[in-house]
C-alpha cells in the first residue's frame, strides 16, 4: 500500500467525511458537500502535480 495516489485519495476521503459531517447538518447536504470536497481535493492535487511535473527546470 505505497501508492501515492491511493494514499492521497484515502486521506482526502477521511478529511472530506469529517468536514462534511462538521459543516452540514442534513445527511443529503453532507453527502453532496462531501463529494464536492473530495472532488476538489483530488482534482486540485492532480492539477498541482501536473503543474510541478516539469520541475526542477
Please give the residue ranges that form the binding site for other proteins (CB under 8 A): 1-2, 7, 10-11, 14-15, 17-18, 21-22, 27
Specify the residue, 10 or 46, whose C-beta has the smaller distance to other proteins.
10
Specify the residue, 15 or 45, whose C-beta has the smaller distance to other proteins.
15
The 3-state DSSP class for residue 29 equals helix
Specify the residue, 22 or 52, whose C-beta has the smaller distance to other proteins.
22
Count of Cβ atoms closer than 10 Å to residue 31 Cβ: 13
Amino acid at each position: 500500500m505505497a501508492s501515492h495516489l491511493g494514499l492521497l485519495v484515502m486521506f482526502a476521503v477521511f478529511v472530506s467525511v469529517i468536514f462534511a459531517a462538521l459543516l452540514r447538518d442534513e445527511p443529503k447536504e453532507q453527502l453532496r458537500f462531501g463529494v464536492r470536497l473530495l472532488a476538489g481535493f483530488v482534482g486540485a492535487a492532480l492539477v498541482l502535480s501536473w503543474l510541478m511535473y516539469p520541475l526542477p527546470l
